[in-house]
Amino acid sequence: MQTIRREIIDENICVLTFDRPNSAANIFDRATLNELDEHLDAVAADAKIAGVILISAKPAIFIAGADLHALGKLGEGDLRHFIELGQNVFNKIAALKIPTIAAIHGACVGGGYEICLACDYRIATPDRATKIGLPETKLGILPAWGGSTRLPRLIGVPRALDVILGGKTPPAKQALRLGMIDEIAPREHLLRAARRVIARGVPRRKKGALQLPLVNAAIGSVIVPAVRKKLMRKTRGHYPALFKALEVVTAAASSWNENDSFARERDAILELAKTDACKNLLRVFMLQERARKLVFAPDVSAPPITRVAVIGAGVMGAAIAQWLSARGLRVILRDIDAERVAAGMARIAQLYDAGVKRRLFDKREARDGLDRISPAAMEVPLDNVDLVIEAAVEKMDLKKKIFAHLDELAGRNTIIATNTSALSVSEIAAATKNPGRVVGIHFFNPVHQMQLVEVGIARETSKEAAQRALRFVQKIEKLPVIVRDHPGFLVNRILLPYLAEAGRFFEMGASVADVDEAMLDFGMPMGPLRLIDEVGVDIAADVAATLAAKFPERMTVPNVLHGMIAAGMLGRKNGRGFYLHRKGAEPVPNRDAEQFRESDSAAHVDRAELQRRMVLLMVNEAARCIEERVVDEAADVDFGMIMGTGFAPFRGGPLRFADASGITRICAELAHLAEVAGPHYAPCELLAQMAESGKTFYEN
């Protein structure tokens, strides 16, 4: 199977075009590297060739790096050979005596960017699809085909560490500012621009102070301790790839010997590949890829959704409308009066302004995005709209009223979706004459940061509506998980018992610091009490009340939440919750919240015990989601919790964590806690059965 075409064009320039057959992506597997090696030998043997251009034939991908599916299955010996093969082939490019130009359009990440680093010059298109960088540390590994060696020599140690440790893949304009590429050219002129560089000669790169090994060594001695301290504070030491990358990058930048540096890259990735963190992070990547290709009903037609209306211009409705308009969709933003619609449009403008500041959009793109939104403070026709998304407050009576009205306004083929996070989609759909077209599309807050979307399938949701909703979520660059219509769906169903238990610990005397630090030590991105503040104390109480009504035997709303709401302590939104939130400052515990404590029985429970109890509640509820078929597979649970709550990715999710801890042990601990701490800890039936039979959630 040929994956690279070699042709000689005018001026004796060799163009190597990457075009993997029957695939939307170009990747590096062993066969592709061997094929590239042969092409490079032919180039080196032909004295007539004046230069080489690397380019892709794919519409949205240059090269997406190594074949990670194969990478995760390689034994140590095969992995060593694979890494050395990539290094040797890329070194051949670097050693060519003629100019080598990378002409980049689309995703250029991992090994795809490392081959560009081996070239003399890099040109990229400014298109939205073009992302350039080294995300390997997010997978528990590091750039090992020369990236950890060449990038710090190209752009200096501080910038290289920022890119590699952050796993960043900036767009072309930002990559140009960082020095990661040398030029930007429109896609239609990309090849011409590369030929022009060869014709005029590749500019000699000035060796600035940051690129000198001796100076880099001095810089490294200063910044490494500070960066290591920052990493430890951020990760609690759970992500070994970050610390190993720091070591390899700084050593590379301060060494004259590239071969030694390549050996360090190779040895580091061989070491990291053995870690549980790497294995779990690779699994998370595979689950993300799975979500992008997910199909609900492959035999059902799913016409694309291009016209959308959002009902409700509050925080969520405005954020959803902004996200959709930024992806080229035309959106009607509807609310009951001009004041609410104006407030929603102001929120959208703020989101675009923030995106411009973060260089996600330029000013023209932001203006065009705003222009695609049509504000509506009065009734407008919806018969030509493909999808209506309701984003009103979480009140069942109100949602039923809205859906009954939308059922009359919407066209016959229009899908009507609710953004509810906990209410029954089936009950909402019952208010319509055609419940088959009603589906849940639950975005997470903040919409512009959270990738997960729960696609909620109600009892009467048609296959066509479900498939179109799923395709829509994938089209707007979100990651879907299909959930059946159960209280709280998947993420909130598992999250709420955890948050409620954190609230109970606080009202029983545990400190804010102990509760939150316990879970930060576990690997959560934010402590549970801080998360309640971010969500809103009132909103957390409402969702908890909805679930408590459905599961009164094991779920309650902590009294502390009611007390805080009555006292106006609503969290970040008004600056007071479990923490005091001041602009520009780190939140600090709010001592005034302690007035709502009911005892001191948890005051001396250590952090390890607090952590274990809260984690076990999540594991137990996650198992119930499998038991009740909220989702079909353990992978769905783990994917949803990692993408929806940030559940420690290096642990692989609550059910992967349960397997690693031992189901029998988990079940025994829950049974013990049910006796000493309350019946809400009692292990679910599925866990008890698995403990007895010796089964696990995963086979490997």
Between the CA of residue 257 and those of 89, 213, 394, what are the distances in Å? Answer: 18, 10, 62
Instruction: List per-block mean pLDDT (blocks of 10 residues) for the chain, which spans 700 residues.
Output: 92 95 94 97 95 97 91 89 97 96 98 97 95 97 96 91 96 95 97 95 58 60 85 95 95 84 96 96 96 92 93 96 97 96 97 91 93 94 95 94 95 95 95 96 95 97 96 97 95 96 97 97 97 94 92 93 96 96 93 95 95 98 97 97 96 98 97 95 97 94
Active-site residue (options: 442, 486, 581, 680): 442
112 half-sphere exposure, CB direction, 13 A CA radius: 28
Helix (H, G, I), strand (E, B) or coil at 55: strand
pLDDT for the residue numbered 216: 62
Helix (H, G, I), strand (E, B) or coil at 171: strand
101: CB partners within 8 A, 6+ apart: 51, 52, 53, 54, 119, 120, 121, 122, 123, 194, 197, 198, 202
- Say whether 442 is catalytic: yes
Q: What dihedral do alpha carbons 273, 279, 282, 288 form, nearest 10°?
A: 180
Q: What DSSP string describes 472-486?
A: HHHHTT-EEEEEES-
- The DSSP secondary-structure symbol of 131 reads B
pLDDT for the residue numbered 700: 78
pLDDT for the residue numbered 396: 94
Domains of the chain, first to last? 4-274 (3.90.226.10), 307-491 (3.40.50.720), 492-630+662-693 (1.10.1040.50)
